[in-house]
Amino acid sequence: MWDKVQVILNDKDMTINQLSKLIGYKSNSILYSFKHGKIKKPSFELMEKIADALDVSLDIFRE
């Protein structure tokens, strides 16, 4: 699922740090854990925040 997030980040020329700030996280460790596969199934709340920050539908992240 992170691959889809990464594609959108690249399209928007955005970094993980920028995304972290947009979703209101002071630390980007959760996003890095997600990126590196330590979080296999992110919470609905996290995905909702990511979708909102990236201005995309949550449906994009359905597998």
Query: How high is the pLDDT of residue 62?
Result: 85
Q: State the architecture of 2-61 in CATH terms.
A: Orthogonal Bundle (1.10)
Q: Write out pLDDT tens, residues 7-58.
A: 999 999 999 999 999 999 988 899 999 999 999 899 999 999 999 999 999 9
Give this prediction's pTM: 0.89
Query: How high is the pLDDT of residue 11?
Result: 97
Burial class (CB in 10 A: 0-12, 13-18, 19+), 62: exposed
Question: Which residues are CB-contacts of 38 (< 8 A; sequence separation ≥ 6)?
Answer: none
Question: Which residues are CB-contacts of 42 (< 8 A; sequence separation ≥ 6)?
Answer: 1, 34
DSSP H helical segments within the chain, as ranges? 2-11, 16-22, 29-35, 44-54
Query: How high is the pLDDT of residue 27?
Result: 86
Query: How high is the pLDDT of residue 33?
Result: 94
